[in-house]
Chains A and B, each alone.
Chain A
Amino acid sequence: MWNWFHKLGSPKTFYAISGSLLPYFCVLAGIMLVAGVVWALGFVPPDYQQGHTVRIMYVHVPSAILAQSSYMMMAAAGVVYLVWRIKLADIALQCAAPIGTGLTFLALITGAIWGKPTWGTWWVWDARLTSTLVLLFLFVGVMALRSAMSGKASAGRATAMLVLVGVMNLPIIKYSVDWWFTLHQPSSFSLTEKPSMPPEMWMPLLVMVLGFYLFFFCVWMLRIRTEILNREYRSRWVRELVQ
């Protein structure tokens, strides 16, 4: 197991394995997302209070889940890089940041669009919304620090440290709706509890969440593979590959 882990950490092996898996993941992500969107827009019953506005949930909730998950994965990569100095972990961290930024932005924008007709306001400075905005700033900060230090040997360690310092924001986002009075409602979807909506409403949500996860992995792999070529261009296998 430990050997296997180290082998996957070698850029060459990772490039080969991810290359053979990527097409399947992309097709699967596409199917899930198209099915989820058609289901969410056309076949989910309207909510008894919100009406058709509830359809915004099917982009808002998955993007918010993925925004936090991508930060979590980025932090895991940061720990691996800091402790074991596996270069691939540094590449993975660097490549997750722009995708996470997009997803957090999407969660905030769709939240605002959903908030206007349901709550009566686009934005309010409550704990959940503010901590999610902090998450966006963390992602942007990681990207900015990375590009400011580009070329320096300590760039990887510095960005990984920043990611780790920011990881405490994740429990704050998750529990903000329980710890403080917020306008945002508690989550209606968790792994441990029964969802607070009927199957015809949560099943398409599950499809969308899975689709978002698959999509994230696909575009993450795409970026990681390009960055591997960038950093390993002197090695023989890359030379043979590009020529």
Chain B
Amino acid sequence: MKFGKMKTHRRNRLLLVIFVVVMSGSGIAMALLALNENINLFYSPQEIVDGKAPVGQLIRAGGMVREGSVVRSDTDLTVSFRVSDLKNAEFTVHFEGILPDLFREGQGVIARGILRDDGEFVAEEVLAKHDEEYMPPELNDVIEQAHSEAAK
């Protein structure tokens, strides 16, 4: 099909189709750009540390649970842990309740709750944000073994 050979009315219709898609596309793109910050489901540790997240309001904050930072209470369901972006920002989360099955150290987590003015986060709900890697348990054992041997 050559564009130049196309009948005029068909070419006009094709141009109309392209026009509709481009116009609606740019309209939606502008709306999304304007809303950009609000579409994010959660605040990153960097934003929490920089004070970009509102204090005292119900918000979501997320990041990675730092290895070895989980402290569980002996008497009740209270737990606290550090959420980091694996770079230089991290903050403490306090939570009372049952954590999801996939809550693990070193895995992603999204907490809904209130940021206190001392910079610590009091969560009323904790969700596990797992990554897109899947593997059978045996394979994971092999990888961990390789890691620990490499560390020796």
Using a CB–CB distance below 8 Å, which chain A residues touch chain B?
A: 2, 45-50, 54, 57, 79, 82-84, 117-121, 124-127, 161, 164-165, 167-169, 172, 179-183, 185-188, 196-198, 200-201
Which one, B29, B41, B137, contacts A125 given CB within 8 A? B41
**Contacting B20 at CB < 8 Å: which of A49, A164, A196?**
A164
Chain B interfacial positions (CB closer than 8 Å to A): 1, 10, 13-14, 16-17, 20-21, 24-25, 28-29, 32, 36, 39-42, 44, 62, 99-104, 107, 110, 125-140
Judging by beta carbons under 8 Å apart, are A48 and B140 in contact? Answer: yes
A49 to B32, CA, bound (A): 35
**Chain B interface, >50% SS class:** mixed
CB nearest to B61 among chain A residues: A181
B100 contacts which of A84, A120, A197 (Cβ < 8 Å)? A120
Q: What separation, in Å, do the CA atoms of A18 and B37 have in the docked complex?
A: 49
Contacts of B104 in A (CB 8 A): 49
Docked pose: A175 CA to B104 CA in angstroms: 27
Shortest beta-carbon distance, B21 to chain A, in Å? 6
B133 touches A188 (CB 8 A): yes
29 contacts between A and B (CB under 8 A): A48-B140, A49-B107, A50-B130, A57-B134, A79-B17, A82-B13, A83-B10, A83-B14, A83-B17, A118-B100, A118-B101, A118-B130, A119-B127, A119-B128, A120-B99, A120-B103, A120-B127, A161-B20, A168-B21, A180-B36, A180-B40, A181-B44, A183-B127, A183-B129, A197-B133, A197-B134, A198-B136, A198-B139, A201-B134
Are the C-beta atoms of B102 and A118 separated by less than 8 Å?
yes
> In the complex, are the beta carbons of B135 and A201 less than 8 A apart?
yes
Find chain A residues with CB under 8 A from B25 CB.
168
- Check A47 against B24 for contact (C-beta < 8 Å): no
Let me know if A46 and B128 touch, CB within 8 A: no
Q: Which residue of A lies closest to B103 (CB)?
A: A120
- Across the interface, do A185 and B136 meet the contact criterion of CB distance under 8 Å? no
Min distance, Cβ A5 to any Cβ of chain B, angstroms? 9
- The CA of A235 and the CA of B33, in the complex, are separated in Å by 52
Task: Across the A-B interface, give the 8 residue pairs with the lowest CB-CB distance, nearest first.
Answer: A120-B100, A45-B136, A188-B132, A48-B140, A197-B134, A126-B41, A181-B40, A185-B132
Determine how close the nearest CB of chain A comes to the CB of B18; give it in whole angstroms.
Answer: 9
* Option from B17, B32, B41, B131 in Cβ contact (under 8 Å) with A82: B17
B91 to chain A, nearest CB (A): 16
Tell me which residues across on chain A come within 8 A of B39, comparing CB atoms: 127, 179-180
Q: Does B130 contact A119, Cβ atoms closer than 8 Å?
A: yes
List residues of chain A with CB within 8 A of the CB of B29: 168
Name the one of B28, B62, B126, B132 contacting A120, with C-beta atoms under 8 angstroms. Answer: B126
Nearest A residue to B40 via CB reads: A181
Q: Which A residues lie within 8 Å of B136 (CB)?
A: 45-48, 198, 200-201
Chain B: which residue is nearest A165 at the CB level? B24
- Minimum CB distance partner of A57 in chain B: B134
* Set A119, A161, A169: member contacting B102, Cβ < 8 A: A119
User: Which A residues touch B127, using CB under 8 A?
Assistant: 119-121, 124, 183
In the bound assembly, the distance between CA atoms of A47 and B131 in angstroms comes to 12
Q: What are the residues of chain B within 8 A of A200 when measuring CB–CB?
A: 136
Determine the residue in chain A with the shortest Cβ distance to B63: A181
